[in-house]
Amino acid sequence: MRFGKIRDLFFSDVYPQQDRFYVLITALTVMMWAVKLTEIIITAAPFYHILFLFFSMILIAAVTVHAIRSGRGRMGAAVVVFIVCLVYTPNVFFHDGGIYGEAPIWFLFSAFFISTCLNGRTMFIYLTILLAEAIGCWYCSWRFPSLIVHDSEISAHLFSLIALYLTGLTVCITICYRSMLYRQEVTRSLQQKKEIEALNESQNHFFSSMSHEIRTPINTIIALNEMILRENINDEVAEDAANIQSASKMLLHLINDILDMSKFASGKMKLTPVVYNPGDMLSEIVGMLWIRAKEKGLDFQVHVSPDIPVELLGDEVRIKQILINVLNNAIKYTQQGSVSLTIEPGETEDGILHVVYSVSDTGIGIKKENIPHLFSAFKRMDEEKNRHIEGTGLGLSIVRQFVDMMGGKITVNSIYTKGSTFIIEIPQKIVTTQKIGEIRIDSESAPGSRREHIAGFEAPEAKVLVVDDNASNLLVVSKLLRETKVQVETVSCGEEALKRTLNQHYHVIFMDHLMPEMDGIECLKAIRSQIGGQSKDARIVVLTANAGSENKMLYEKAGFDGYLTKPITGDILEKELYRLLPRNLTFTTGSGEDILKETVSWMKKEQRKKTVVITTESVADLPQEIIARYGIAVLPHLVCTAEGDFLDGVEIETKGLLDYMNDRERKVRTGIPDVQTVEAFFARQLTTANNIIHISVSGGLTNSGCPVAQEAARAFNNVTVIDSGHLSSGQGLMVIEACRMAEEGKSPDEIREHLERMKPRIHTSFVVDSLDFLSRADQVSSRVARVTKALMAKPVLVLKRGKMGVGKVFFGTRENVWKQYIRSVLRSPASIDHRILFVTYVGITNRDMEWIRNQVEKRTKFESIYFQQASPVIAVNCGSGTFGLLVRDADPQTETFS
């Protein structure tokens, strides 16, 4: 290599750092070996020893040069480490005095060599081999000292001192070189950080300037378009104007998204909580999106619970932005059907209400594998199918970040090609306990319809000054305030404003911020301190295109009395003016009541979604009265026969199945629903609830529905599948407990945690008359079934750790066996929960049931005893003459079953 290339190797970024360390320490090792070669030549060492060291030097140098030139530094490092540490070092041990020579120093150097040249698993493998090699060498030195060749005492001392000096020098040079590279990297990182910060600052300035520049013409478009809608125009013009209004607001919304993304990236995003009316916010959202839905022929509905408070404390602007983004996405990806927004109150704690917003559509849906990437910026799902749909890919990323900032959560349920539901929960402070109630709906006020504008007040004696360097903005404010009959004067700069305020008293001044020569803040201060000025006490409002919470704080600090952003609407401008004017100058003309759009409906109590719904499977063997009492949704398993597959408990019942199975030639097996069926089941339940807890049969059983349910739940963010670890009414006991907790308003997480603790306290067992049915279902061998039948043995099937097995075997007549089984289950009455007992049976008579009840009550009393016929799926495996006592251990905490 030429000198220039050598310099580049060590001091430029052309080669990876690891390769540079490897070359450096290899070069230093070759130098040390050159000194060592001189030593052994002087001391007349054996020729083969000289030859071995010489060729080792040549070999590692050649390997290193070839590895660097070919770009295989890692492979070269591994070969050199092998030669230096695993070949040369043990050779030194046996030929240079063992533990009394320089070998211990070389072993330490070898460890340093390995950790410098290698990394990851390769490094640990070599270090392990080196350790084993050292142990072997020391063992040989102890057990077979004759294998060690010793130098003279003076040579041993001299050579070990030289080795110590050389290896120490090599280690120091390597560490100094590493430190130098580290300092260079730190300097480079700091420089890059400054460049990135400067770039971000430039980017933020650009976005802010772009937002300001675009907002100004949009302000003119929206405001003058609003004036058109106020005029007496025909329906076609009114519809066109409404479309312009909607499109302008969507453009503004897109600008806000781009600006917000830059704020998130720079860490400057802040929330601005204000007291707001959810109904007012809703009206604006519907007004913006209703036309887009109408253009695509979609049914657009908003359902609002009347229990929502009239006033909440939250960042209204950001909440509105969240809902617009999600609704806009829903409309964009829905070609036919409907899009709906549902707003309901969730949990309330310490004056904080968790408001639940649900957006549902009948669009193309989302693939399960795409859901984890749904909230990534600039990423669009299923690009090939959606290539004709426009979008930036920013909307949902911004939604997630805003929801996280507000301490809320967002979940997604979707079935591909069927539709999606986004559920957003945002905590907000309750300002007043008054409910929003059922607001009157006026069908004449739908978006796109024209209605005569009536100002909320008139103030003919009030004087208003508008200061803005843009003539269009001056025209907009003048026209929007025309109906209020206030006296409006306009000026185009701060200097002109000061000339007017010197001699004229104005009640309210609307002031732009960014103006040439004198900006709005400077003009404000000049008016307040103007000697002889007539408007020192005027209420001054900044009317600017600089949106954002940080700008609002800037204007508050500067001393403005109000803050309005462009584009401005007539209603907002009138409300702000009315707030600031003295009451003796104004008198109201309108009703003062805002009217919501026709798409808003108010939910009746029975229409509201539940926070959580409990679902289970037909094998849970629950009484119909409990299913009806708690509204439990049941997913049926399958009974498969030669005649076809039948839904468990729906299309086939237990008695008919037992009669069918009396013919031993007939084969019956159990089956489970497929993933698509379970997904559809979950989707139906989510139309009535925001969360599902599905309690499944034990996943350790053959043909368990648990794995399929878990797979189906992946399509939804708020479906929790719990492996009960039980079956039949043992599973049913967990379902009842979950329903009770859901009625108490417990969260899904609280219910899940409680059920996990409850699992080991439930006892599921059955005493069977014979193993014939289990044999026919291939659960046990036919030989075992015949032997137990011949011995008059009655096995007890027990579920432990989620798997079915034979727990005990009783012998004797059926009556004696049943007595023994009841005694074994109820042997410790004090430890049993006495509130409920399930007796789940297959093919026993009413007389048998009464006898079982008497035997149970002789041992202990229960508040409720349910005799429940097992489902056909359970009966397939057990057969007639089977029953089980399913109980749970007493809980230290008092709980109530209904």
Contact criterion met (CB below 8 Å) for 163 and 107: no
Q: Is the pLDDT of residue 187 over 80?
A: yes
How sure is the predictor about 777, in pLDDT bands with cuts at 50, 70 and 90? low
Cα 365 to the chain's mean position, in Å?
18
pLDDT tens-digit readout, 269-282: 778 888 888 877 88
Q: Which residue has the tokens 């299923």?
A: 382
Structure tokens at 243: 């479309």
Q: Is the pLDDT of residue 548 over 70?
A: no
Nearest to 574 by CA among 225, 223, 274, 211: 223
pTM above 0.85, yes or no: no
Task: State percent of the chain over pLDDT 70.
Answer: 86
Strand-pair partners of 762 = 888
Q: What is the pLDDT of residue 689?
A: 84
| Residue type (1 letter), 782 | S
Phi, psi angle pair for 169, to nearest 5°:
-65, -40
3-state secondary structure 341-403: EEEEEEEEECCEEEEEEEEEECCCCCCHHHHHHCCCCCCCCCCCCCCCCCCCCCHHHHHHHHH
575: DSSP letter: H
Nearest to 166 by CA among 11, 63, 35, 53: 35
Tell me the average pLDDT of the chain.
Answer: 82
Q: What is the pLDDT of residue 124?
A: 92
Q: What is the pLDDT of residue 262?
A: 66
Q: Is the pLDDT of residue 564 over 90?
A: no
Q: What is the pLDDT of residue 740?
A: 92
What's the rounded mean pLDDT across residues 473-501? Answer: 90
pLDDT tens-digit readout, 852-895: 999 999 989 999 999 998 888 888 778 788 899 999 988 765 44
Q: Is the pLDDT of residue 679 over 60?
A: yes
Q: What is the pLDDT of residue 424?
A: 93
Q: What is the pLDDT of residue 480?
A: 85
Q: Which residue has the higher pLDDT, 773 or 65?
A: 65
Q: Which residue has the higher pLDDT, 279 or 676?
A: 676
Q: What is the pLDDT of residue 393?
A: 47
How far lies 663's CA from each of 197, 326, 654, 660, 785, in Å? 82, 59, 15, 6, 17
What's the rounded mean pLDDT across residues 236-242? Answer: 75
Q: Is the pLDDT of residue 226 over 80?
A: no
How sure is the predictor about 505, in pLDDT bands with cuts at 50, 70 and 90? very high
Q: What is the pLDDT of residue 615?
A: 95
Q: What is the pLDDT of residue 600?
A: 47
CA 95, 98, 102, 105 dihedral sign is positive
**Bond preceding residue 567 cis, omega within 30 of 0:** yes
pLDDT tens-digit readout, 281-332: 887 787 678 877 887 888 888 888 888 898 899 988 889 889 988 998 899 8
Report the 10 Å Cβ neighbour count for 329.
22
Choose the weakest-confidence range: 14-18, 833-837, 855-859. Answer: 14-18
The whole-angstrom separation of Cα 762 and Cα 725 is 9
How sure is the predictor about 785, in pLDDT bands with cuts at 50, 70 and 90? confident
Q: Is the pLDDT of residue 441 over 50?
A: no
Strands 836-842 and 793-800: unpaired
The whole-angstrom separation of Cα 723 and Cα 705 is 10
Q: Is the pLDDT of residue 213 over 50?
A: yes
Q: What is the pLDDT of residue 664?
A: 67
The whole-angstrom separation of Cα 711 and Cα 709 is 5
Residue-by-residue DSSP string for 424-448: EEEEEEES---B-----B-GGG-TT
Helix (H) or strand (E) holding 765: strand 765-767
> Residue 665, class by beta-carbon neighbours within 10 Å (0-12 exposed, 13-18 middle, 19+ buried)?
exposed
How sure is the predictor about 443, in pLDDT bands with cuts at 50, 70 and 90? very low
How sure is the predictor about 38, in pLDDT bands with cuts at 50, 70 and 90? confident
Q: Is the pLDDT of residue 427 over 80?
A: yes
pLDDT tens-digit readout, 573-587: 888 898 899 988 888
Q: What is the pLDDT of residue 285?
A: 80
pLDDT tens-digit readout, 590-618: 543 432 333 444 444 445 678 899 999 99
pLDDT tens-digit readout, 507-542: 999 999 888 889 999 999 999 999 989 999 899 999
Q: Which residue has the higher pLDDT, 633 or 386?
A: 633
Structure tokens at 667: 């084969």
Cα 635 to the chain's mean position, in Å?
28
Helix (H) or strand (E) holding 138: helix 120-143
Q: What is the pLDDT of residue 894?
A: 44
Strands (E) across 547-610 are located at 562-565, 587-588, 600-602
- Residues across the chain: 898
Task: State percent of the chain over pLDDT 90.
Answer: 23
The whole-angstrom separation of Cα 396 and Cα 399 is 5
Contact criterion met (CB below 8 Å) for 873 and 658: no
Q: Is the pLDDT of residue 438 over 90?
A: no
pLDDT tens-digit readout, 699-731: 888 788 999 999 998 888 789 999 999 888 889
CA angle 377, 383, 385 (to 5 degrees): 145
CA 353, 354, 359, 360 dihedral sign is negative
Q: Which residue has the higher pLDDT, 398 or 203?
A: 398
